[in-house]
Structure 1
Amino acid sequence: MSAHLIVFWNILHGTKGWDNLSLLPQYKGQPSMKPYYRGYNAPPGGPVDGYLEEERGQSTCSITWTNPSIKEAWWKFPLKSIANVAYLEIYFRSSTPNRHVGFSVFIFNNSSYIPPVNPSQHKVFSHNISTCIEHVTNVPINKETQGIALYNTRDPLVNTTCEGFDPRFATIEICEVKVMGCPSQHFGENCTLCDKKCRSRMCDAFNGSCTYGCENKFMEWPECSVCKEGLFGQDCESHCGQCIIGTFCDRVTGICPDGCQDPWNGSLCNVCKEGYYGQTCKDACGNCRNGTFCNPTTGICPDGCEEHWDGLTCKECKNGNYGQNCDFNCGRCTNGTFCDNITGICTEGCEDHWNGTLCNVCLDGFYGHHCKNKCGLCLTRMLCNKLTGVCPTGCKDNWTGPRCDECEDYKYGPNCVFNCGHCKDGKPCSKLNGHCEAGCVSGWGGLFCSKESSCTENLNADSGISKASTAIISIVSTFVVVTLLYAVVARIVYDKMKHMIPLTGKNPKDIISGKLDDHLVDTNIDPTYQKITKQSENSFYQELRIYKNDDFVQNK
């Protein structure tokens, strides 16, 4: 009902202040009670007929059956429409008010309701049994409802000293009940329209406050004039930022008066502090370049990542690096793959000659920065140092040097098994080919100084040959011997290298003349070629021995 209709309605009925809704036709329903005893001539409609006991006696009252077997009794009055009921003015039977010690009042919107069902939802009043009942008692309701009910019980038994209380039975004995209130959505003695800020425009029947909540659910009731704690703004739809724990922002401006929680920042404490990002600002920025900070929302480093770091947020190691700070380089992973950027393990294995879980140490038998150098002939197959190649316990027989990769003095040949000849002044021969570079001891001759000589050191002066002629003859003889030696060696190598054509694609003549590709002398060439080369090399030295011992007679 609108405000102007209420004013017209009050003038029409000559009323002022709250109305007794029980007498208004638009509200008055049909009352009922239980247990009903017709012999008393006290029907349920008496309390809402507008007459007091003093005016018409007991006939205007309602009295339930007062039998000792009755342990509960009720009287209820439904309204035809919902009203904002302020209070009840109850006129108990003047001779028996204390029979109602401990009574209760219920409200309901469905006329079929029977008290005391669902007391948590319907009970609005319980009498304090430490006091006695007055003949006229006011009971506050302050609820929007479509019915009221009075309920009395002796279960459990009420303990009271009030005069007239009868513990044998429960009864309801009332002579008038005034339901004082306003139409729904109105309040006060003048039945003023509730404020629209109240939820469903329902309010306190006495002062109009929004006791049912606010139309704007984000406002704090009953005033509905300020935002709830934790909200701010004109419509209270904005949430406070991350204020210091236990405090709230200003409900109008949203500013946190005591500052922000760490790591939040800004006047509203709703942005991340520099160096943090994400919905909760708990994620630290990655390793952004030159000490810059990431985007506070996405975590992306706008200027890129520091050295060794990668990924949008610069939290991953760049390919080829690993470790907590990405400052370790991956080992030699196979086929150009990269190691795990946390553990450094090459998941697909290592390059040739590399070993270890991180592929960062040489395979046994190799050494050097690139692990491409083979160990020498270390003693009893002991492995060399993988960095320097040094044999820690010495060399096998006939070998020497820190890496055991050269022949001992007075030994030569591919396996250092040949002994030097009788070189002049006791000097050792060449460790490569056995030649005595300084010449032979007197009485010995040949390239290897291993053939005894019958010639004297001086020629007969009478022979007419001068020393100059002798020198020329010696030079020419040496040239002829060397040429023949080269021809023998070339023939041997040529015959052996015929088998290498399918493997190398090279002409044996080119190989003999020194036109070998670098890879043909590398230590990592095909094993088949290594075998052929070694056989050729051994044959070469065998031919040299035959020459040395048999005065250059070829082995047929």
Structure 2
Amino acid sequence: MFFLLLSHTAVLLRVTAQHNLTPFGTAKQSSTYRSGIPQNAINPPVSNAFSLDICTHTDIGSIKPAWWMFQFSFGIAYITDITIYYRVNFAHRMDGFKLYVTNSSTIPPDGYLCYEDPNPGLPNTTITIPCYQIGQYIIYYDTTGDDLSQNGPLVELCYVAINGCQKGFWGSNCEKVCSKYCIERNCYPGNGSCVWGCNTENCLNDICSILTGVCTAGCKERRTGDHCNEYNIASDGLVSQYPSGNQPASFANDGNKRSCSKIKGTNVTFQVDLKKESIVTGVYITFGENTTKVGSHTLYTSNTSNFLKNGTILYDDQIVPTRVNFSAVFRYLTYVMYVSPVHGYFSELEVCEIGILGCPPTYYGPVCNKSCPRNCHGPCDLETGNCIFGCLNGWTGDNCKQACNDGFYGNNCLQKCSPFCLHQPCDHGTGKCLDGCIRGLQGFNCTQVSVHTAESDNEVTTRIGMFSGGVLLGILITVVVCLVIRKKRQLRKKQTNGNTIKKKQSHDQQHYDDVRMENVSTYQDLRRDIGSSEYDQINTSYVNH
């Protein structure tokens, strides 16, 4: 028992090493005799020894075709070969059988016929059949039957090993992934080469290697990489070389790996101008076979053509760079090769194709087929499309789709709108007053005194002044007239009063005169009576006193 288990384990290890796929599926058959179920053919032991418990067995005497079918649980597989262990000493019962690889469970099978037992002679009970086909079902099919016993067609399979790999994988244990540039990602389990050829969609002249899927001749417009699956922003760039060579620099970005720019010298320079600052993630360079391998090889990035003054070194080594990965933002990429001149030795540079991985500043995505948000400030992230360099004035958020709140504008919406707006908020980007300014101010943010309004105000002020002056003059004239009238009235009154007084005074004077005359007369009469002598005496007495 221990020996049997050990032998079974050894066989399973050997089968596993041959990519046996029967553990990854189920089996069924046209009919079942006693315990000869279809699963017996995919379970150990691996031998021709027969019993109903370890081999399959269909009904005896059936006039219908007999068949056994296996279906992969994971879908489609690439089948390299199938080994059948039939019931020992019963080869006559498998005479004339057929083996199919199909994508359906249709009976009779309508897929690929891997093998049909020929006549004359009997097949071996242990037989390995090469197939090299893709399918989901393996069908053992027999219509001939047992000619010796005339029991009709029978199926008595003791073990079946189906070798290959699940579609899309290859290797000794199917651990490697087929190139996605193989058509439908189907490749041979043994070497990974494309079963149906490679995808030439972006390959120059539709040429690719069936073994690797690599576009051997080059890439179509704006594509780069081994499989031409990446966007090449160098395609639209301006290329230059120093010193000038016998082949133009433009050969290096025409997509054709077989046309190369060629220059010689102790210090040679090749430069690509992307025209605008762009996000770049790597560089492919295909060199011609005559390129000098020794010497110093340096890659510079810069935003001006003067890379020595303003450049940043991306790569500096003694080995020719064919692929350099990095992440940078720049406009100019410069490749410099320097070889110390010894005995008149010059370096030779052949650049057959240069691929710069990235996108134009307003695009992103695997092949730059998506537009960046329109409010991004500068290029957006190549994978997510987020505005990694911020937003244009008036917008916020990762995708710069959120406008500033009312009352704010500018970079990151940090500036406040002018308090001299009318009914509308200011422009989110510039701060311009959308509905105009309050009276007397002008400018995009209403901070300047309006010339027209000032002139208008001066005119109004003048008119108001003239009106006010006129009113004041009228009032003054009215006052003067009133005063004159009043004065005249007062003069009239005064004259009237004067006449009255004058009349009274005249009356009084007359009265006074009358009285005075009377008094004088009386006085005179008195004086006559007294006499002058008496008067003189009184007067003298007073003086002496």
Normalising to structure 1: TM-score of the pair?
A: 0.33
Q: As a proportion of its length, which structure holds more strand? A: 2
Normalising to structure 2: TM-score of the pair?
A: 0.33
